[in-house]
Amino acid sequence: MEQRQIFVHLVLVLFLMVLVRAKPEGGLREEEEADRILELPGQPKVSFQQFSGYVTVNKVAGRALFYWLTEAPQNPLSKPLVIWLNGGPGCSSVAYGASEEIGPFRINKTTSGLYINKFSWNTVANLLFLEAPAGVGFSYSNRSSDLLDTGDRRTAEDSLEFVIQWLERFPRYKNRELYITGESYAGHYVPQLAQEIMTYNTKTKQPINLKGIMVGNAVTDNYYDNLGTVTYWWSHAMISDQTYRQLINTCDFHRQKESDECESLYSYAMDQEFGNIDQYNIYAPPCNNSDGTTSPTRHTMRFPHRPHPGFRQLSGYDPCTEKYAEIYYNRPDVQKALHANTTGISYKWTACNDVLNRNWNDTDVSILPIYRELMARGIRVWVFSGDVDSVVPVTATRYALAQLKLSTKIAWYPWYVKNQVGGWTEVYEGLTFATVRGAGHEVPLFKPRAALQLFKSFLAGKPLPKS
């Protein structure tokens, strides 16, 4: 070929390359626009953008995870991306995180409308609520057996795939600072997803800019969680000295399945000694049923004495909020506005999926090794604890964290929010621990102002205010 011809060819090839590159990007923006939420039924006017929809995480099985992004009203482009996960396992971050805890909207009593949560975390970050794993909320699998064998492993793998695919759909978030947060059984999901991302980052040219994780009332370590839980019951006068002593002497605390003798002691404690309290906030009144009775506090739990935020009465400002969510999110007009349930899922939307929970396949016995790994890689790790939760109580978290044997950077001190003690905190080498005074299991529900302060300090990477 002549030089001229070669040159023409080169130009052509370059032109084609530009075309090929341009096309998917245009397509991506369309995909993003298709996910835009124009307005939710009963929603007040807002100045931030919202998107929601599905991301396919497994084509063979037909698994798709549902997300809801609520951006920051001011300068969203300069604010980080924060993923929020709820636990269960099997509970929805749309039901809890978005609608009762950190999201911009709360559902009103008549479930005909929404009102603004002025302590929403989207005032300082772009919030990405993810319903995980498939089977939770609007997230689904076309392979029905997936509901019977999902566990920590698949949840982590699918969540990583979600993050990768989601960033393709929203390229403006690539390279953005990413934080992963959550509570309760998400004490597993959050560090496990962080670990998946760290591993992925070693194999890719486009690493995900993960900066930190924060978990609250987090399931951390089977043994220390169980030991710390019965200790909390005793120290908060929920059980007798005798029951406490017997539990300590009889139960193994390591195992998933305890001996019959131990189980009957747990039953005695809960049925004969607790009374009808809300275990998720021991000082709050429970939600009344319409007939005037309150629901029993005991619920079926696959894990012995494990948090299971479904099937209970919630308390706090309004202990009935999750009932509102189950009405609101099952409305066809709400689902349409959210681009949810587009394939006609065969069962109703529920705050928690009990089938997933009962059949949970695999669970890490301790998350502490992952904490060590993340700290070693310079990932910011914050752990907080609402101190009136008896399900994953503050004593459980303190026993577990003590096993890390971290050196103290800033000694224990009270932290403040609006001139009041918000809780106590200690800063360790690599990890910050903070309690939230008077908060139950869902800290941002019970103490929204304190929770927002905690979130701001976490994002800034600064110790909580000393006054």
Ligand X SMILES: *[C@@H]1O[C@H](CO)[C@@H](O)[C@H](O)[C@H]1NC(C)=O
User: Rule CB under 6 A: which residues touch ligand X?
Assistant: 42, 56, 62, 64, 108-110, 112-113, 138, 142, 149, 151, 153-154, 285, 287-288, 319, 335, 341, 343-345, 347-349, 361-362
Which residues are catalytically annotated? 184, 389, 441
Query: In the structure encoding, which two tokens stand for residue 439, read together?
Result: 């908060």
DSSP labels, 423-445: EEEEEETTEEEEEETT--SSHHH
CA distance 219 to 214: 13
When the beta carbons of 366 and 403 are compared against ligand X, the nearer one is 366
When the beta carbons of 64 and 227 are compared against ligand X, the nearer one is 64
**Contact present, 141 and 350 (Cβ < 8 Å):** no
**Which residue's Cβ has the minimum distance to ligand X?**
113
Smallest distance from ligand X to CB 279, Å: 16
Smallest distance from ligand X to CB 41, Å: 8
CA distance 147 to 169: 27
When the beta carbons of 53 and 430 are compared against ligand X, the nearer one is 53
44 half-sphere exposure, CB direction, 13 A CA radius: 12
Smallest distance from ligand X to CB 193, Å: 15
CA angle 455, 445, 49 (to 5 degrees): 65
Smallest distance from ligand X to CB 176, Å: 26
Alpha-helical regions (H) of 170-303: 186-201, 222-235, 241-250, 260-268
- Name the pairing type of β-strands 178-183 and 81-85: parallel
Furthest C-alpha separation in the chain: 96
279 CB-near residues (< 8 Å, 6+ apart): 297, 312, 389, 390, 391
When the beta carbons of 39 and 362 are compared against ligand X, the nearer one is 362
Smallest distance from ligand X to CB 153, Å: 5
